[in-house]
Each structure stands twice: as structure tokens, then as C-alpha cells.
Amino acid sequence: MKKTIAVLQGDGVGKEVTAGAVNVLKVIADRFDHEFHFEYGLIGGEAIDQQGVPLPDETITLCKNSDAILLGAVGGEKWNSIPRHLRPEQGLLKIRKELDVYANLRPVTVQGALADSSPLKREYVEGVDCMIVRELTGGLYFGRPSERVERDGEEAVVDTLFYKRSEIERILRSAFEMAQKRNGRVTSVDKANVLESSRLWREVAEEVAKDYEDVKLEHMLVDAAAMQLIRNPKYFDVLVTENLFGDILSDEASMLAGSLGMLPSASLSSDGASIYEPVHGSAPDIAGQNKANPIAAILSAAMLLRHSFDLHQEADKIEDAVERVLAQGYRTPDIADGEESVSTDKMVDVIIEAIQAP
Amino acid sequence: MKKTIAVLQGDGVGKEVTAGAVNVLKVIADRFDHEFHFEYGLIGGEAIDQQGVPLPDETITLCKNSDAILLGAVGGEKWNSIPRHLRPEQGLLKIRKELDVYANLRPVTVQGALADSSPLKREYVEGVDCMIVRELTGGLYFGRPSERVERDGEEAVVDTLFYKRSEIERILRSAFEMAQKRNGRVTSVDKANVLESSRLWREVAEEVAKDYEDVKLEHMLVDAAAMQLIRNPKYFDVLVTENLFGDILSDEASMLAGSLGMLPSASLSSDGASIYEPVHGSAPDIAGQNKANPIAAILSAAMLLRHSFDLHQEADKIEDAVERVLAQGYRTPDIADGEESVSTDKMVDVIIEAIQAP
Ligand SMILES: CC(C)[C@H](C(=O)O)[C@@H](O)C(=O)O
Ligand SMILES: CC(C)[C@H](C(=O)O)[C@@H](O)C(=O)O
């Protein structure tokens, strides 16, 4: 297989961890006889420094001409005081919209070997295996108006939660399809006792469900879901929800794993290239120190192989290797629990060795 | 002191637990020489059954003529299939708006004696003492339009997040005043990297902060807050946020305590009577079985004394009594961790005994 992968390393530890993920992909290409071309583009703070904008047109073109995108992380203190529309995270929002990556997948799994680094007790998190499917291009993030207004003679403000039926339908279909390949359960999260958008969401979910008879659908209110993620996280198979609820719940769920350094994500496009990136941020405090955990980026590369290229065996290979080195006791500082730890590079090396082992 | 307290027991365990709280208040009145009159009103499912609406006008009048309101819980399976505008929770939303109870206070504390019933490890939750201040009468809950529309030839839907500056200001002032009486820190939670309403919220917070020089203000994004509540819940003193974020985060935070049965709440009115109620729901599965934990309702009664009547000594008395009986090992089934437990009535009795003890 011959593919072009756009690599947007971004800021801070984004560079180090994507470098590790690219090395892993090269080893996979070698071993399975694929040809991956890596093309590098600018995004975030670095793009601001070099070109004055967080997402240069060149980068958009590069992404549109690629088969998949591997992203690091964007942002940092340095760019916090510049005008908002130029900030690094605006680059993220823009690329999501440009590529129409409407389905954000955040698998939350807790590896037995790491269950003790979770704030939750082992018995609550060991064996958690949940897929959060977040709608990523609609809702309050992009609804208009979003502006200051005057009301009753004083300043007021309005934001708009907007969805078209077709936008709701496609994300729900993604969730149901995901559930078919997993344990056949979809929990659709909304606030139907308050929001009209949630009531439409429920209607559409019920309709879509008819096309997936092998999947069990249930509805849960967002406040109840925020509780259930802590009280009984093993409860969930696929959790699907709108953009802002998904932002909050997926970050809440990420804490179950003990470290953000373990969690990958995929943002699937309707037609073009999809984006794969670690859940963690640019972590400026440890950037450049060869300390960052590369596993989230490496597992994101595995998701890329699986979801964009349908290379399941190759993806499995990476995931197995990660599991193996963790079982062997290799830990970066974030998951070392005060015990001995290895560097970013060393972790990448042992994962590559595990991939190459017979 | 002579006061009238409206008691809205509501549905399910609401009845049992408010009965317990009323008994506690009677003992306090006796001991401290106050005169409390209790007037009963209908709300929720029971009101629907008897009068066809979840919040009869009589109940509103009763509340408006009272000095404070003690509420149980509303809702249950039985009323889930009736038209939405007649459902029990609509009674809740309506009474909030009618009485303009704009500030929902949700203290989250974890008693040392109960730290082991939390899903989180003891070291994460022991000593948590946080006050969540949630705006309760604005935002997406009441913004208009909230309706189906047509867009691009298909069905679409819109909800509106709306705030006036004065609404933002008053809730922030409540939070700062709270912080002055506590540990002097306010964490204001928003999504300022996406929402215009959050940006106004931040501006107002900065302005209000100038009037409270002894309080330290910081801003946190809602997704980061959802993580921090798990990673380091002891971090928070006062957390203030808008209505829907508050709904999600306060329910998330409630899980730290191990059982909802321990958590009280207050909803403070701008000028009229404020509402005090347990965080838990009507729990139809255990209703009428003398099993429910009355502590949340009893601690809500303590909040009533403190916030509506300025009776701090009396409130302390109740809170101390609760702590004492827990230390003595009394547990209702929800917090018994499989060990021996006592009934609702017995728990009320031992708390009353502890109040009456010299
Ligand atoms: C940076 C921010 C706009 C973004 C979001 O809210 O979507 C981030 O929190 C995320 O989840 O990727
Ligand atoms: C019943 C519902 C409308 C209500 C809310 O969302 O405010 C409840 O969840 C609460 O927090 O009191």
C-alpha cells in the first residue's frame, strides 16, 4: 500500500511524540511492505511564529492532498496573549471545519498494568473499554449568532447551539457502526429534559437504531453520564454525544486512565483525510526534555492505520507491542508512580523492538 | 426567631427524608427557642396526580409567602411518558424561575469516616471541601429561541445560550462572598476559547474581582475542570460556573463523596425564599422502605438555617451531630459498604440524640 501521511507536529512535546510515532510507522511500512510518504506542515504556535497565522493555507492544502494526518499538539503560554482569532487552538477548530472531521473517537481503555496509576480504585477502572464518539463540527462551537447584544438596556451575550438533522444522523451512524464492531451497545448522551436540540437528537437516534438491529440503544442525560463515568465506567461500550458534552465527558473519562499520556484519538472526515492525535496537550513544562510519553501518539498512529487505511493487522501489531512493553515494566515518568522510568526515545525503541520481535 | 418554612416533600424517598429533616428542625427550634411553622405544598408527580400540573399555583403562592423552602425530590418512572411540559422536572424549572433562585450552592465534602466508599482512592478525596456555585436561572435552560427550524431544505434545531451582564455579575458576587467566608479562592469555569458568553463571563469576573481584594480569582476551562475534579479535587475552594456546566460538573463532583445520600444543596433567591434540597433524586426503587439516607436532607436543613435565617450556631449543631454519628459508625445502606446498616428513622433518631446530647 502506498500512502501519503501529513505530519503536523505542532508545539511543545508535539514534536517529540510525533517523531516517535513516525518512526513506528516506518518500521510497520518496512515490515508489512507498504510505502508511507511523510510530508510535514506547520500548525499552531510554530505556524504563528513563522507565518503569522495558526493554520497556513499551505497546511490546509497539504492535508487535503494527503491520505491521513498525524497531529502532535498545539499551544503554549507564549501564545496566550495574542488576539484570540490568531491563537493556536483556532488552528485546530479551523482544520476540523476545513476537513469536515465530524466524528471524534476517543477510546478509553485502562491497561491492567497501569490500573494502579488511576485516581480511581483498581476495581472501578480495570477492564474499562469504552469508545467516546463526539460530534466535532457542530453545536455551540460553530453556531451563529455568537455575539454581544443589548437587552433591557444592558450588555448581554448569546451563543447558539445549532444542528441539522443530517449532522446528527451521520454521527449517530458512526456510533452504531462502531458498536457493531464492539459490544453492540450505544449510550446516546443528551439533555433532553431541557434542550430542544437534545430532543431532536433522541428522535434521530431512535430512527437510526432501526437500521442496526444488532445494536442496543439507550439514552442517558449528560449529568447522569458525568456520574456514571465515575461510579461505573465499565458500564459503557460506545458513548455518543454532541460537541460540547463530548468535550467535557471525554476529558473527564480520560482521567480514568491515570495519565493522558496513554490516550489516542481519531477525528474522522466525511470524505477527505482524517486526523489522528494524542489527547494530551503540548505540555510546555517538559517539552524538549525527552520525558514525554510517546504512547498516545503511537496509539494514534495505530488508529490511523486501522481507520484510514483499513490495516488492522498492522494496527494490532502496534497495540500489542505497547501492551507488551507495559507488561515488561517500561514506564515514562508520567506513569512511573515514582518508580524508575525511561525516556521518550527509549520507550519508542522498546516498542519498535517489540514490533520487530518474531 | 419566628419563621415559616414551606415543605415540598415531592415523590419517592423525598417524603421520608424531608420528614426526617423536619423532625430535626423541630428539635433545633425547641432547643434554641425558635418558632418554625411548617406548611406543606404539592410538587412533582404527586401534584400531577392530584392536580394535573407539576407545580400548582397554590404551591407557588405558598413558597412566596414563606421564609424558606425545604424540598424533597421529584419524579419517577410513572410520570416519564406524559407530555413533557407536564413532567415533574418542569415543576423544578418553573419554581426556580418563579422564585428567581439564581445561585445553586453544592458543597462537596468528603467525611474522613466515609472516604473509603468513594470510587476514588482515599488519598484523592479525604479532606475535599469544595463549594460549587452554579448559575441556575439563565443560559441554555431558558434562552430563546429553543425550537425546530428549517435550514438548507432540511429539519434543524436551535437552542440559545443567553446571559445578561447583570445575571453574570450577581452569581460571581455570590461566589466571591462565599470565598471570603471560606479559603479565599474562586475558580471561575468557562469555555472562553470557544464561547462568546464565556468571554463576557471572564470579563465580568475580572471586574468583580476588583471588589474582593482578599479573594484570588483564576479561570479554568470546563474540560480542564472536568479533569481536575478527578485528578485533584482538593484543589478547589469555590468553583463558580454557568447553568449547564454547573449541572454537569456538580453531578460529577457528587461522585467523589461515595454516595449522593450525603450531599445537600441550596438554591438562593435574589429577594424571596430560597430552596434547600438533597442532591439525590426520588429513588423510586427504595421509596417507602425506610432505607433512604436522610443525611442529605438534614444537611440541607442546616444550610437553610445558615443561609436563610443566619442561624450559624444551630446549623453547626446539626452538622456536628451528623459527623458524630458517622464517626460512631452509623450507616444507612447506601454508605454501609456491605456492613451492618440502620434504617432512615434510626439514622434520624441518632442524629437527634446527638443534637440533644449535652
Ligand atoms: C482547544 C479546544 C478548542 C478544543 C475543543 O474544545 O474542542 C480542545 O479542548 C479539544 O477537545 O480538542
Ligand atoms: C431535572 C433537571 C432539569 C435538573 C437540571 O438540569 O437543572 C437537574 O438535573 C438538577 O441539576 O437539578
Q: What is the pLDDT of residues A136-153, one digit of tens each?
A: 999 999 999 999 999 999
User: In the sheet that B238-241 helps form, which strands lie side by side, from edge to edge?
Assistant: B35-40, B2-10, B68-73, B274-278, B264-269, B101-109, B129-135, B238-241, B185-190, B216-221
For B158, the closest of A162, A165, A255 (CB atoms) is A162
Say whether pLDDT at A102 is over 90.
yes
- DSSP H helices, chain B, are 14-32, 45-51, 57-64, 88-98, 122-125, 165-181, 196-209, 222-231, 243-254, 295-309, 312-327, 344-356
| Spatial separation of the C-alpha atoms in residues A70 and A288, rounded to whole Å | 19
Q: What is the dihedral of CA A282, A140, A186, A278, to 10 degrees?
A: -10
Average pLDDT, chain A: 96
- CA-derived radius of gyration, chain A: 20
What count of CB pairs under 8 Å joins A to B? Answer: 157
Closest-CA residue to B266 (of B105, B108, B43): B105
Within its chain, how far is the Cα of A76 from the centroid? 19
Closest-CA residue to A120 (of A265, A233, A240): A233
Say whether pLDDT at A179 is over 90.
yes
Residue type, B76: G
Residue-level pLDDT at B78: 87
Residue-level pLDDT at A289: 97
Q: Angle at CA A26, nearest 5°, toward A25 and A30? A: 115
For A165, the closest of B140, B156, B164 (CB atoms) is B156
Q: What percent of chain A has pLDDT over 70?
A: 100
Chain B residues with CB under 8 Å of A196 CB are 146-148, 157-159
Are the C-beta atoms of residues B322 and B24 closer than 8 Å to each other? no
Cell numbers at residue A335, please? 506513569
Q: Which of A104, A150, A159 to mutate to test the interface with B (most CBs of B within 10 A)?
A: A159
Are the C-beta atoms of residues B351 and B326 closer than 8 Å to each other? no
**What is the mean pLDDT of the segment spanning B169-190?**
98
Lowest mean pLDDT among B245-249, B309-313, B354-358: B354-358
- The reply to whether A141 belongs to the active site is yes
Distances (CA, A) of B158 to A139, A156, A160: 9, 19, 7
Average pLDDT, chain B: 96
pLDDT digits (tens, 9 = 90+) for A339-357: 899 999 999 999 999 999 9
Lowest mean pLDDT among A157-161, B66-70, B78-82, B309-313: B78-82
The one-character DSSP state at B186 is E
| Spatial separation of the C-alpha atoms in residues A225 and B251, rounded to whole Å | 9
Residue-level pLDDT at B61: 97
Closest-CA residue to A130 (of A91, A175, A100, A94): A175
Say whether pLDDT at B89 is over 90.
no
**What is the mean pLDDT of the segment spanning A317-338?**
95
Nearest CA in chain B to A248: B223
Please state the atom number of ligand 1 nearest to the C-alpha of residue B223: 9
Domains of chain B with CATH codes: 1-101+262-358 (3.40.718.10), 119-257 (3.40.718.10)
Please spell the DSSP secondary structure of A158-198, one letter per residue: EEEEEEEHHHHHHHHHHHHHHHHHTTSEEEEEE-TTT-HHH
Residue-level pLDDT at B1: 93
| Spatial separation of the C-alpha atoms in residues A296 and A318, rounded to whole Å | 12
Label residue B91 by pLDDT band (50, 70, 90): confident
Residue-level pLDDT at B85: 83
Residue-level pLDDT at A111: 85
pLDDT digits (tens, 9 = 90+) for B250-266: 999 999 998 899 999 99
**What is the mean pLDDT of the segment spanning B178-207?**
97
